[in-house]
């Protein structure tokens, strides 16, 4: 064990180390809170000055993370900053920045690479750097390692490089940062030991793997597994609909089998930062090895086509009422990507809204978790949350249920709506002519 590694692991073990978390979003903030609550000094780095100012005054901007949790972190020594030079004070640097797709559905590593470049002048011996952003196998070794070594540091001796994929599930009360096992890979044995030392105090179980690439591929497999199975059940929904079969009843019956079946549920398309994006990181990388990932890409095609299928169901339902989409008043129920959270990243609601706006519909939305339509790189709607009551529900030609938040009053909606397009199976047992299952 090198003297740098020995000093680092000792500081992590006795909690005298400083942890820097770069990227204070849905992944970074839970990590901040976890390390502060177990006694570490934590420095948060983000490029958004407004976000930094809010956090330093104990104000959260994520619904399921309370102001009191941020306030306790600040009391325990957390500080946010836009100054990247501050990472020189840190013993460990955890990178939690976005990895989106570009307009060609290829990996966009700009956030990762620009963040790394900003860190380089401020690195010092004895630090461990762990990337948590989801990416293709080879990213950490091919992109981060040479940049770090360009500063004169030797990875594995001076600085230790690890990859540990994030596994946050916003809004899930059953699993928190501490209880979710942490996969970790390192560039070398020393790097792996540094990564294990970093995460051992914070989580119940660290799962070491043999390389950076194995850790990177693990995250992709987890999300591709979900994407493929959701694609399968979405295709089954379309087939069942044509046959007059209730797919939700089928799923409920199938999941009574105590082995060999895991229930997945259909919807209007994929949402969130992981499942709609991660599979394309692997398909892009696989092409460099002359491999076509046909299974993954087919699932992607099915899932990507679901918003159009929902629009067709809505259009047909309006036609039956002798109405057109153009000029129709349509209320979108839920713009978060999944229920009971305020996260709208890659939400299928936004895709549906874009299609409906292009067709001339008059749009409103109701989402008790998202009060104002958020600023996005590729989408813009000047809309605010609309409260639902008996009078205004009846004023819409159709209500399109996209995200089935528990806060919605489904009895009130069913009683007063002229037409409901249900993409989530919330009314799966209903046979009313005003409810269309999509």
- Cβ within 8 Å of residue 260, ≥6 positions away: none
Q: Which residues are catalytic?
A: 274
Token digits of residue 165: 């994929």
- Report the alpha-carbon distance of residue 161 to residue 195 in Å, rounded: 8
- Cβ within 8 Å of residue 326, ≥6 positions away: 359, 360, 361
Residue 48 · residue 215 · CB < 8 Å: no
**Residue showing tokens 């047909």:** 316
Using DSSP, state whether 51 is helix, strand or coil.
helix
Nearest 5°: the CA angle 273, 279, 284 is 120
> Which residue spans within 191-339 are E strands per DSSP?
206-208, 329-333
In the sheet with 41-45, reading across from the earlier edge strand, the strands are 79-81, 41-45, 18-22, 92-95, 128-131, 160-163, 182-186, 206-208
Question: In the 8-state DSSP scheme, what is residue 260?
Answer: S
> Across the strands, what pairs with 131?
95, 163
Roughly what angle, to the nearest 10 degrees, separates helices 67-75 and 28-37?
50
Q: Count CB-CB contacts under 10 A for residue 157.
A: 15
Name which of 227, 351, 245 is nearest 293 in CA terms: 227
Q: How far is CA 91 from CA 44, 120, 158, 183, 209, in A?
A: 13, 14, 12, 20, 23
Q: In sequence order, what DSSP letters do the residues of 352-420 get, joined into one string?
A: HHHHHHHTT-EEEEE-TT-SBPPP-SS-----BB----HHHHTT-SEEEE-S--TTS-HHHHHHH-S-E
- Cβ within 8 Å of residue 142, ≥6 positions away: none
- Cβ within 8 Å of residue 117, ≥6 positions away: 147
């Amino acid at each position: 064990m090198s003297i740098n590694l020995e000093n680092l692991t000792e500081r992590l073990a006795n909690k005298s180390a400083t942890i820097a978390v770069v990227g204070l979003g849905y992944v970074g903030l839970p990590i901040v809170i976890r390390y502060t609550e177990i006694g570490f000094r934590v420095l948060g780095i983000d490029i958004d000055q407004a976000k930094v100012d809010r956090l330093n005054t104990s104000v959260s901007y994520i619904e399921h993370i309370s102001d009191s949790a941020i306030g306790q972190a600040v009391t325990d020594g957390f500080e946010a900053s836009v100054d990247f030079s501050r990472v020189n004070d840190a013993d460990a640097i955890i990178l939690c920045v976005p990895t989106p797709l570009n307009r060609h559905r290829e990996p966009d590593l700009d956030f990762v690479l620009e963040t790394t470049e900003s860190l380089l002048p401020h690195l010092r011996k004895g630090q461990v750097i762990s990337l948590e952003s989801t990416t293709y196998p080879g990213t950490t070794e091919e992109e981060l390692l040479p940049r770090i070594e360009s500063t004169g540091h030797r990875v594995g001796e001076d600085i230790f490089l690890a990859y540990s994929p994030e596994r946050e599930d916003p809004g899930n009360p059953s699993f928190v940062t501490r209880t979710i096992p942490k996969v970790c890979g390192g560039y070398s044995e020393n790097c792996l030991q540094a990564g294990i030392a970093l995460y051992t105090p914070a989580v119940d179980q660290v799962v070491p793997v043999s390389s950076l690439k194995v850790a990177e591929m693990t995250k992709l497999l987890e999300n591709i597994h979900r994407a493929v199975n959701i694609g399968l059940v979405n295709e089954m929904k379309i087939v069942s609909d044509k046959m007059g079969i209730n797919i939700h009843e089928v799923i409920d019956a199938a999941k009574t089998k105590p082995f060999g079946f895991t229930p997945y549920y259909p919807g209007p398309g994929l949402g969130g930062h992981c499942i709609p994006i991660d599979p394309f990181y692997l398909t892009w990388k696989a092409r460099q090895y002359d491999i076509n990932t046909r299974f993954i890409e087919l699932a992607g095609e099915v899932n990507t086509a679901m918003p159009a299928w929902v629009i067709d169901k809505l259009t047909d339902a309006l036609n039956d009422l002798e109405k057109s989409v153009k000029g129709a008043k349509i209320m979108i129920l839920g713009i978060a990507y999944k229920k009971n959270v305020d996260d709208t990243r890659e939400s299928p609601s936004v895709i549906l809204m874009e299609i409906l706006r292009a067709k001339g519909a008059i749009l409103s939305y109701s989402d008790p978790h998202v009060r104002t339509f958020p600023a996005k790189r590729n989408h813009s709607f000047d809309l605010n949350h609309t409260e639902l009551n008996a009078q205004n529900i009846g004023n819409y030609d159709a209500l399109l249920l996209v995200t089935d938040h528990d806060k919605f009053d489904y009895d009130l909606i069913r009683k007063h709506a002229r037409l409901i397009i249900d993409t989530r199976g919330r009314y799966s047992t209903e046979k009313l002519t005003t409810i269309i299952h999509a």
